[in-house]
Homo-oligomer: A and B are copies of this chain.
Amino acid sequence: MGSPSSLKLGVQICGVGYGWGEWRHPDVPADASISLNFYRQQAQLAEAGRLDFLFIADSLHIHEKSNPHYLNRFEPLTLLSALATVTEHIGLVATASVSYTEPFNLARQLASLDHLSGGRAGWNVVTSWLSGTADNFGKAEHPPHRVRYYMAREHLSVVKGLWDSWEDDAFVRDKPSGEFFLPSKLHRLDHNGEFFRVKGPLNIARSPQGQPVIFQGGTSVEGREFAAGHADVVFLNPESLTEAQWRYQDIKGRAACLGRNLQQVQVLANIRPVVGRTASEVEQRYQHICQFITLEDALVTLGRPFNDHDFSRYPLDEPFPDVGDLGREHLQGHSEHIKQVARDEKLTLRQTAWRFALPQREFTGTPEQLADRLEHWFQQGAADGFVINPWPGGLQHFVELVIPELQRRGLFRREYSGHTLRDHLQLSTPINRYAPRRELI
């Protein structure tokens, strides 16, 4: 276990990149999103940096204007299963949608990954916001935002219930007596709810972590309430220290109201650092990244939380357009945030597009500056840690330059001491709901 004062650190690995133009950067293999070599190399680099986990995001609907990474990428659970055998310590976190997966199949694949990896699986619970997704799954309509979170609660509770099908000591496997398992330790879920009906039991033993770690990144009120109530790790996307502190307190406060132990709710901030050995290297890297972001791409990026809305149809140098309720049923929290920033800061459409597309100066600097900033956010109650969303080549810069500085300051581990993702994140193992309560024995 790390010391209680140490940062949590993860990395999102995202093939050719988050934006539309990053794939053209010389540090990005143009086929990265579909290259096992790329993912293996990045995973091993993250593990060399002793990071807690790597994270694979996902979505289930593409069209001609989707970004290059979305068009052609590995499916997360198969990818992470492959990475499980070429890494030893690092956590493996997959996005999967409650709206378009069967709880039985998903519970099983995540448990299987947890067994294959010796207890390193995590699930980032998403509800899918692009309404076109429904057309890939024969649904009459994409469920509205609020309904998706009702579904999320029920789906997650079914999955967790299935993960408890077998008590931890159910499998005896005694060859002389022929006793393979104890029938009293096998439990059927018999769930019959509003959205799902699942009898169980699951056909795989309780996994090394008891249950894989639950991640969630909702920004809307429903999303935050769901995350605070059910996630072990909450992702945030703050733009400033003040916003981060507000969001951090919001999650922790909601979690406290829901009766949770706050040590068991880790709040992490997504950041996109730009790091260099010297001020001039930093600036050169910053400018180089900017070369791969066009205004056209920035407008498409901006449209994504608004259900891939086409912002190129509005005048660029007038105030951010009034799009009404657009986005409310999709990526609600993000789209509302964009509207609010544009309104508060009186931004034009052009300014708004650039504002959300360019690297932020907050996490741009030398290793010492970056470490100062991370330490400051950590100590000022803005985050329990960070998820690096690297620019091209950025994971290597972070691992080689920033990690040693954090280690020198005693803010991050030098070696893995635990075995599972729960160990790394100092999360306790959930007790099986069917296990006899020790205090009553």
Binding site for B on A (CB under 8 A): 21, 23-24, 26, 30-31, 34, 36, 40, 59-62, 64, 66, 68, 70-75, 77-79, 81-86, 100-102, 104-105, 108-109, 111-113, 115-116, 132, 135-138, 166, 171, 173, 175, 178, 180-181, 183, 186, 196-201, 203-205
18 contacts between A and B (CB under 8 A): A23-B180, A24-B175, A34-B204, A36-B85, A60-B104, A64-B183, A66-B203, A68-B181, A72-B203, A72-B204, A73-B204, A75-B105, A77-B78, A78-B116, A79-B116, A102-B137, A104-B136, A136-B198
Chain B residues with Cβ under 8 A from A74's Cβ?
112, 115-116, 204
In the bound complex, how far is the Cα of B64 from the Cα of A201, in angstroms?
10
Which of the residues B78, B135, B175 comes within 8 Å of A78, measured between beta carbons?
Answer: B78
Known contacts being A203-B62, A204-B74, is A173 close to B112, with CB within 8 Å?
no
Chain B residues with Cβ under 8 A from A75's Cβ?
105, 108-109, 111-112, 204
> Is B34's CB under 8 angstroms from A173's CB?
no
Chain B residues with Cβ under 8 A from A101's Cβ?
102, 105
> Is A82's CB under 8 angstroms from B136's CB?
no
Copies of the polypeptide in the assembly: 2
> Is B64's CB under 8 angstroms from A112's CB?
no
Chain B residues with Cβ under 8 A from A23's Cβ?
173, 175, 180
- Nearest B residue (CB) for A189: B136
Max chain B C-beta neighbours (<10 A), residue from A26, A72, A132, A135: A72
In the bound complex, how far is the Cα of B196 from the Cα of A138, in angstroms?
6
Say how far A170's CB is from chain B's closest CB, in angstroms. 8
In the bound complex, how far is the Cα of B84 from the Cα of A171, in angstroms?
28
Known contacts being A78-B112, A115-B34, is A138 close to B84, with CB within 8 Å?
no
Known contacts being A23-B173, A60-B104, A115-B34, is A205 close to B72, with CB within 8 Å?
yes
> Is B109's CB under 8 angstroms from A77's CB?
yes
Chain B residues with Cβ under 8 A from A82's Cβ?
81-82, 84-85, 116
19 further interface pairs, Cβ-Cβ under 8 Å (given A72-B181, A78-B81, A135-B199):
A31-B171, A31-B173, A36-B115, A40-B85, A70-B203, A71-B180, A71-B203, A73-B203, A74-B115, A74-B204, A75-B105, A77-B78, A77-B81, A82-B84, A85-B85, A100-B105, A104-B136, A104-B137, A137-B198
Say how far A425's CB is from chain B's closest CB, in angstroms. 22
